[in-house]
Amino acid sequence: MPKRYPVEFEVGFADSELISYERGESGVKVLISAWNEQSICLEFKGAITLVDYGAWNFSEICELQESSPTMSRALQTQYDGNPLEHPYRLFQFLDEDNEPSMEVVAEKLLVSLV
């Protein structure tokens, strides 16, 4: 079982729906609609990779704290290798089956209501 740690926020992410995402100079912003129809912005600072596997609905957003093919590819692209120490973290948007439907490799995550 993967070592996943849930992203905590005042509004739960279960039954959330993707509204949009965009890449900017400072990273990636993901806008979702929570189960209670509140809009939540997830801002991934220093993002180097975003992989969308057909993300629409989410049951949870978590941080994966073990090696993965997505992290390896991101580090290979960024460093031309896989260094043991780096500032990056892998965040996953999980579907109802606890499978990743979107992944983001970034230095930091900020979550806020919009």
pLDDT at 80: 86
Work out the mean pLDDT of the chain and round it to a whole number.
94
- Give CA torsion, residues 104, 75, 45, 65, to 10 deg: 60
| 1, pLDDT greater than 70 | no
Overall average pLDDT of the 52-81 stretch: 92
What count of residues does the chain have? 114
Overall average pLDDT of the 51-79 stretch: 93
Q: Please tell me the pTM assigned to this model.
A: 0.93
| 61, pLDDT greater than 80 | yes
Edge-to-edge, what's the strand order for the sheet holding 27-33?
57-58, 16-24, 27-33, 39-45, 108-113
Please provide the distance, in angstroms rounded to a whole number, between the alpha carbons at the two ends of the chain: 34
Phi and psi for 78 in degrees, rounded to 5? -75, -40
